[in-house]
Structure 1
Amino acid sequence: MASTAQAATGGENDCKKHPGARILHGPHKTIGGVEAWMVWGLCTVFVVWLFSIQTGYAVVSPEIQKTASLTVAQIGLAGSIYTWAFALCQFFSGALLDRFGSRPLLAIAVAFVTAGAFLYAQTDSMATLIAAQIVLAIGSSFGFVGAGYIGGQWFPAARYGLMFGLVQSLASLGSAFGQPAISWQLQHVTWQQLLNGFGAGGVVLIVLFVLLVRNPSTGPAQLAQTTARPSRPPLVSSILRDLGTCFRNRNVVLSAALAGVSFGSMLAMGVLWGPRIMEARGAGTSLAAVLTAMSWLGLAVGAPLFNLLSDHWNNRRIPAVVGVLLQAAAVSLLIYLPKETNSVSVVTMFCVGLFAGAHMLGFTVAGESVPGRILPDSPPLGDYGGALLMMPILLVLGALAGFFIKDTAKARVDA
């Protein structure tokens, strides 16, 4: 007790001696107040910005393919490398935020994405593209998780799911409008200039994060915990131990399988293969971008919707399973519908994103399951049927895993 009081007193004295310390490092004023919304809003802007870069890959990848003399398989491989690097970094990003807080980690994450955008703009070979994807993945792994972390730190626990859903919804809306906007901009500027513009926006975000984002401090207990930090176990060993604990929990593994294939398939369609399928149906590049944007518009609706339905029905498992099964049906229709049904594709793409909102009930990042290497350089529509067959299969398997999840909704309500 004495050491706790001393830590608290010492912290207060430091703020009195150095008023600037309170501005940059002092405690937040009100949970869910104006300051909380400001920090959360800035982190959400970060997510929207990086999502725009990610989904912009769907629009600029044909241009990159031409400039760097790459094949469709190489473009698909680069996208897969990004996703696997993202998934690997995700193991550490959450743990780092838990240990060190949002300051300065989120500013560093923005710097990585900014560097990746500038490197992206210099792509003239497969090696440069892969390097850009890895740098982008390192920074992006802190984006969605960071916004969720901020929501949990600065808002009441009961609103955590809703705040997380809002982040996904806003990011999806940004992607829905961003893809057509990027396609339009490419008619006036080069893809290199466009990506350099994203990088310039990142520089502004870095400054704002350094000035405004800090770790919330709730009082003496947290200060005492800070003084005890040297006694914590090494980071890597603690992460491995925590992962072991997670993998021993059946619900964690099954929900990860369900949510992973759902969000992974959404990324595959919304970031890379959606526009290619639309172009194979005869749509122009601009129209293909607009049609693909419908999937992100659907996700913007589905992300908070499935949370609300789950709360309304007091059930987590059934909405998640039904959503993923419907997503599998929508993806299958998109791949296997006849070429002459472009008008139906608009609704189908929207449904792909809408039902992908089910992944918010068990969010986890999953690798992209896209076998780009079996496609020819200029694949007709029929070739996508065999190449992307794995996607609806994985969605059905993910939904089957969901049937074995022990529902936790009633336990949460009673708590």
Structure 2
Amino acid sequence: MAATPARVWGVLALLTLGMLISFVDRTSLSSALADSRFVEAFALTNVDRGWLNSAFFWAYGLMQLPMGWVVDRYGVKRPYTICFALWCAATAITGAVTALAALILMRLIIGAAEAVVIPASYRWIGNNVPEHHKGFAAGIFAMGGKLGPAIGAPLAAWLIVHQSWQFMFVATGLAGLLWLMPWMLMVKNDLPSKEQLVVAKKQASSVSLASILKSPVIWGAMINNFCYGYFVFYCMTWMPAYLVEQRGLTLKNSGLYTFFSFIGIALVATVAGWAADRLIERGRDAVFVRKAFVIAGFVGGSTVLLGAYAPTLEAALFWNVLSLTLLGLATANNLALCKLTLIPKPVIGLAVGVQQVATSLAGGVSASLSGWLLHVSGSYDLPMKVIFVFLLVGALNTAILLRPKWSPKVNVE
């Protein structure tokens, strides 16, 4: 029996909240890395900070394909439940560690467990939301990934300033566990029976991993995810430190401006997804419409370079906030295009998992490369120039590779 519209949007809201919590837990470290007490406690250099930020993403990327495979065959609810509890526990335990090795281990666990979020969520959206609502649904869901840093950065900064970095990790980790109660009550148990498992395996096998990797659309989606993610993850991992160290803000105020940046991209992402859906509902080509929004978002985001050369604090803050906000034009439509519209339903989980490898790579490279570029140049200007280049690559890639004729082919034998 199909889920009612009210239940569909209710579960979507819950998936969005789960996404938000995952981003709060993954980005809380960036606020700690801007706290001198935390840096001194572990004797961290700039290069160390870059590698520590990237540890999450290496584990996150490594587990994307396995998680996509799992949710394609065994459903969404139970894998998500187990992984959610695991990453919240690891976040809380982070507040008790005293050695750098243990800190890195907790970040690896959080990264591995959070790898379930995107494949599971898009698997559920793809099976329950029609095409003319997918852009809006993707925009709503993407809000979780933007509101997470928007809320998490100032919250983490406030907890560190008024309590300690240890208390911040424990509080955010334990608070997240409250989400499990409505999740267990609202979401249907979709663990397949033996008969359903046979059908699910047959459907998932109708498109092989090899055929997915042969598709130019998949490679185009991976390039887009990398270019988009590189900028977003830079903002999550290095923006607080940039605002404190190069622009002279306090830790508390740096969290506030990070909040404005991610609120901006979240709102624009949702509106852009809704606007594209309305155009598609009126008969416009779905691929053309979504590509136009994606290209506009990449070009708009490239204004970040103006912030690097801004002569005043006010101008730098303006361009920092505006550039990430304009990137929101791409957010929902890139997600809908690359993960839903151009992907056969039976393998959404696996295809999304493949794409998320590039997203994870973007996070790891952005965090570590930005730290190295900061080390060798002594300024955040060079990391921003690299962001500018990747955003222009994303715009060009969208125009060339994301074409329906190059989508993964279904084996109908």
Q: Fold-level match, TM-score > 0.5?
A: yes
Q: Does 1:176 align with 2:146?
A: no
Q: What is aligned with 1:308?
A: 274
Residue type at the aligned position of 2:255: A
Q: What is aligned with 2:141?
A: 167
**Kept after mapping to 2: 8 A contact 1:298/1:352:** no
Q: Does 1:347 align with 2:313?
A: no
Whole-angstrom distance in 1 between the partners of 2:113 and 2:193? 28
**Bigger CA radius of gyration:** 1
Query: 175, 198, 205: which is aligned to 2:172?
Result: 198
Q: What is aligned with 2:108?
A: 134
Query: 398, 401, 414: which is aligned to 2:397?
Result: 401
**Kept after mapping to 2: 8 A contact 1:74/1:373:** no
**Kept after mapping to 2: 8 A contact 1:259/1:361:** no
Whole-angstrom distance in 2 between the partners of 1:359 and 1:37? 19
Whole-angstrom distance in 2 between the partners of 1:133 and 1:352? 29
Flag the 1:356–1:243 CA change in 2: closer, same or farther, 3 A.
farther
- What is the Cα deviation at residue 163 of structure 1? 1.4
What pairs with 1:282-297 in structure 2 (closer than 5 Å)? Answer: 282-297=248-263
Q: What is aligned with 2:229?
A: 263
Q: Does 1:41 align with 2:19?
A: no
Where 2:5 maps in the other structure, the secondary structure is coil
Q: What is aligned with 2:304?
A: 331
Flag the 1:268–1:227 CA change in 2: closer, same or farther, 3 A.
closer
Q: TM-score, normalised by structure 1?
A: 0.78
Whole-angstrom distance in 2 between the partners of 1:82 and 1:150? 25
Whole-angstrom distance in 1 between the partners of 2:129 and 2:201? 29
Structure 2 unaligned regions, length at least 5: 336-354, 408-413
Please tell me the root mean square deviation across aligned C-alpha atoms, in Å: 3.1
Whole-angstrom distance in 2 between the partners of 1:403 and 1:147? 27
Q: What is aligned with 2:125?
A: 151
- What is the Cα deviation at residue 208 of structure 1? 4.4
Whole-angstrom distance in 1 between the partners of 2:222 and 2:87? 26
Query: 318, 333, 341: which is aligned to 2:292?
Result: 318
What pairs with 1:219-230 in structure 2 (closer than 5 Å)? Answer: 225-226=195-196, 228=198
Q: Does 1:273 align with 2:227?
A: no
Larger RCO, structure (CA 8 Å, separation 6 or more): 2
Whole-angstrom distance in 1 between the partners of 2:16 and 2:85? 16
Q: What is aligned with 2:349?
A: none
- What is the Cα deviation at residue 62 of structure 1? 2.6
- What is the Cα deviation at residue 230 of structure 1? 9.8
- What is the Cα deviation at residue 406 of structure 1? 4.7
Whole-angstrom distance in 1 between the partners of 2:106 and 2:47? 17
Flag the 1:230–1:116 CA change in 2: closer, same or farther, 3 A.
same
Flag the 1:327–1:179 CA change in 2: closer, same or farther, 3 A.
same
Residue type at the aligned position of 2:11: V
Where 2:297 maps in the other structure, the secondary structure is helix
Where 1:316 maps in the other structure, the secondary structure is helix
Q: What per-residue deviation string (whole Å, max 9, x for no partner) do you get for residues 241-266 of structure 1?
A: 73322222212211321232112311
- What is the Cα deviation at residue 105 of structure 1? 0.7
Whole-angstrom distance in 1 between the partners of 2:314 and 2:325? 18
**Kept after mapping to 2: 8 A contact 1:119/1:128:** no
Q: TM-score, normalised by structure 2?
A: 0.79
- What is the Cα deviation at residue 129 of structure 1? 2.3
Residue type at the aligned position of 2:307: L
